[in-house]
């Protein structure tokens, strides 16, 4: 746990200490905030490349502040183990992307789990993450975590797929390259496509672990050798 002071001025990655200090007016001058949360906040900032912030009463909460915010009786916010997150730009698309990723136990979800996040709350206008100590009902590779969402989300329209620039670029490369090599046997083209496509997940590059990356690298090298031999 990090001790966060009202008038502190230390830097925690992208966050100044005062960015991490409670938004509750009756908060004490010092309170704790989980290290895992601070790591997760920095990770999310870096991953989406967009500045993020803890929402108004979305950090450490006192009892009265928690009640006013409509928080659960035993909210992790009371323990300095939860944050509600907002993005300063592109928020709708990012929250939609996170919704898909967390529901499908994707790469962002896995990264957050690695950092010690054990609670995921999906809301229409923000994301709640917490570093609870108690175990949740969900299980991912033996790690127990808690998942909950705003009940209206499921019944509302499907979240749009995040339209990242990386995906646009890869689509472009895809059509350019594969239009030019139509003379190739279909199996070879599909093989090449597979190598490229497995690097992409939801518009973000995902190497799928070192083994996946190395095996694709080997496949590419073998393919180049094969082509050289043909010539
Ligand atoms: Zn929350």
Which pLDDT tens digit goes with each residue over 187-212? 565 566 555 554 433 333 444 456 66
In a domain, 99, yes or no: yes
> How many angstroms separate the alpha carbon of residue 202 from the centre of ligand 1?
25
Kindly indicate the confidence band of residue 70, based on its pLDDT and cuts at 50, 70 and 90.
confident
Q: Is 63 in the same domain as 172?
A: no
Q: Say if residue 216's pLDDT is above 90.
A: no
Quote the radius of gyration of the chain (alpha carbons, Å): 22
Q: 127 and 153 in contact (C-beta within 8 Å)?
A: no
Q: What kind and span of H or E run contains 187? A: helix 186-197
> How many angstroms separate the alpha carbon of residue 123 from the centre of ligand 1?
9
Q: Is 54 in the same domain as 8?
A: yes
> How many angstroms separate the alpha carbon of residue 151 from the centre of ligand 1?
15
pLDDT of residue 167: 41
> How many angstroms separate the alpha carbon of residue 145 from the centre of ligand 1?
15
As a whole number of angstroms, the distance between CA 138 and CA 202 comes to 23
Number of domains in the chain: 2
Domain with 84 in it: 2-155
pTM of the model: 0.67
Q: Render pLDDT for 130-158 as a digit per residue (tens, 0 to 9).
A: 999 988 899 999 999 999 887 544 444 44
pLDDT of residue 231: 80
As a whole number of angstroms, the distance between CA 37 and CA 115 comes to 8
Q: Is 7 in the same domain as 32?
A: yes
Q: Is 29 in the same domain as 126?
A: yes
Q: Is 26 in the same domain as 63?
A: yes
> How many angstroms separate the alpha carbon of residue 59 from the centre of ligand 1?
8
> How many angstroms separate the alpha carbon of residue 127 from the centre of ligand 1?
8
In a domain, 160, yes or no: no
As a whole number of angstroms, the distance between CA 8 and CA 160 comes to 40
Ligand 1 is an ion; its neighbours by CB within 5 Å are: 82, 84, 128
pLDDT of residue 151: 59
> How many angstroms separate the alpha carbon of residue 97 from the centre of ligand 1?
19
Q: Is 171 in the same domain as 118?
A: no
Q: Is 136 in the same domain as 180?
A: no
Residue listed under structure tokens 């019944």: 155
């Amino acid at each position: 746990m990090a001790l966060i002071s009202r008038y502190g001025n230390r830097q925690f990655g992208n966050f100044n200490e005062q960015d991490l200090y409670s938004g509750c007016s009756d908060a004490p001058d010092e309170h704790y905030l989980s290290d895992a949360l601070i790591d997760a906040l920095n990770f999310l900032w870096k991953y989406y490349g967009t500045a993020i912030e803890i929402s108004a009463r979305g950090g450490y909460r006192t009892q009265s502040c928690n009640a006013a915010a409509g928080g659960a009786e035993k909210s992790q916010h009371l323990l300095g183990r939860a944050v509600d997150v907002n993005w300063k730009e592109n928020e709708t698309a990012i929250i939609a992307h996170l919704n898909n990723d967390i529901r499908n136990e994707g790469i962002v979800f896995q990264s957050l789990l690695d950092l010690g996040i054990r609670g995921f709350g999906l809301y229409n206008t923000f994301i709640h993450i917490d570093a609870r100590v108690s175990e949740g009902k969900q299980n991912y590779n033996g790690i127990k975590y808690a998942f909950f969402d705003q009940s209206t989300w499921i019944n509302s329209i499907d979240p749009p797929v995040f339209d990242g620039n990386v995906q646009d670029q890869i689509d472009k490369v895809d059509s350019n390259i594969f239009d030019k090599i139509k003379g190739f046997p279909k199996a070879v083209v599909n093989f090449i496509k597979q190598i490229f496509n497995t690097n992409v997940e939801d518009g973000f590059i995902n190497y799928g672990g070192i083994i996946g990356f190395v095996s694709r690298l080997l496949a590419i090298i073998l393919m180049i050798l094969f082509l050289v031999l043909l010539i």
